[in-house]
């Protein structure tokens, strides 16, 4: 019984790992635009790239970079 539960938990964990995808909110190019009043992508994406990202999410974006605050601060100093 315990073995079956462990196997199920392992399977659940695998599924969860597969579904975790990067999204624009964690990307360093996703910034607040005061004129627009919302967060927008600062990369110049062409129409095909925008359609692909809207359909499949940021996981399909070739420009995605994880926003790491510590790295950004290090570059500024
Ligand atoms: S570069 Fe790609 S992942 Fe980053 S904000 Fe723009 S569309 Fe989203």
pLDDT, tens digit, for every residue of 58-69?
A: 888 999 999 988
Ligand 1 centre from 71 Cα, in Å? 18
Mutating to test ligand 1, I would choose from 23, 28, 30 the residue with most ligand atoms within 8 A of its C-beta, which is: 30
43 is written with which tokens? 């990369």
Q: What is the pTM of this model?
A: 0.64
| Mean pLDDT, residues 1-30 taken together | 68
Average pLDDT, the chain: 80
Q: Which atom of ligand 1 is nearest to the CA of 53?
A: 7
Rounded to whole angstroms, the Cα distance separating 50 from 8 reads 38
């Amino acid at each position: 019984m315990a073995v079956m539960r462990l196997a199920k938990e392992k399977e659940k964990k695998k599924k969860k790992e597969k579904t975790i995808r990067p999204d624009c909110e964690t990307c360093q190019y996703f910034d607040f635009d005061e004129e627009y009043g919302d967060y927008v992508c600062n990369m110049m994406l062409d129409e095909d790239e925008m359609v692909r990202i809207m359909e499949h999410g940021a996981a399909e974006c070739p420009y995605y970079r994880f926003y790491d605050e510590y790295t950004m601060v290090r570059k500024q100093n």
